[in-house]
Amino acid sequence: MTHASLPNPHPDAGSDTDYDDLLSFTPVPMQRRRADGWSAERQRRFITALSVMGAVGPAARAVGMGRASAYRLRDRAGASGFAEAWDIAIACGVDLQFHTALDQAINGVTTVRVMRGGTVEVVNAPDRKILNAALLPKTRLSAALSAASRAAKATRETQ
């Protein structure tokens, strides 16, 4: 069974072929073949879902598996290629989610309100909550990197 190439959810990453190559990996070898287990195709679909969603739990549920099961698969012997694709997919997913949130924060979100009496109000406005939620992880990451940089610099100066 071959897996169909999905459309590139990250258009800035280059062509669909480049994107497929970026997420290609050797599936984790399984001792037994189970209809409800981590088949090679299910592993590929999980990595694709992870590259779009940026979160393990929802990606695992999207392919009919559990979050804990996905982490156990990642920790198995022979899973180095899967783990590498996982890390790349997480980064792609987080980036895609950030850009989607940024787009909604800048260009707005359309909200339809139906009020009593049948009055309909359609509002398209930027969503500051989405922008704050998108920027918070980047701010935390930036602060963590700055703290790590300061710690490394202090260690070098004491040596």
The mean pLDDT of 61-79, rounded to a whole number, is: 93
Q: Evaluate whether 63 touches 56 at the Cβ level (below 8 Å).
A: no
Confidence class for position 6, pLDDT limits 50, 70, 90: very low
Confidence of residue 5 (pLDDT cuts 50, 70, 90): very low
pLDDT for residue 93: 87
| Contact present, 63 and 46 (Cβ < 8 Å) | yes
Per-residue pLDDT at 64: 95
Tell me what the mean pLDDT of segment 57-62 comes to: 94
127, 135 Cβ separation under 8 angstroms? no
**For the chain, what is the radius of gyration of the CA atoms?**
21
23-55 residue pLDDT tens: 888 888 888 888 888 998 999 999 999 999 888
pLDDT for the residue 132: 72
Asked whether the predicted pLDDT for residue 17 surpasses 70, the reply is no
Reading the block at residue 1, the tokens are: 């069974």
Check the CA dihedral 41-26-14-1 and report its sign: negative
DSSP result, 40-99: HHHHHHHHHHHHHH--HHHHHHHTT--HHHHHHHHHSTT-HHHHHHHHHHHHHHHHHHHH
The model's pLDDT over 122-156, given as tens digits with 9 standing for 90+, comes to 888 877 776 676 676 655 555 555 666 666 666 66
Strand pairing partners for 120? 114
Which residues make beta-bridge pairs with 113?
121
pTM over 0.85: no
69 pLDDT above the threshold of 90: yes
Q: Nearest to residue 85, comparing CAs of 152, 126, 26, 153? A: 26
CA distance 99 to 101: 5
pLDDT in tens, 92-116: 888 888 888 888 878 888 888 888 8
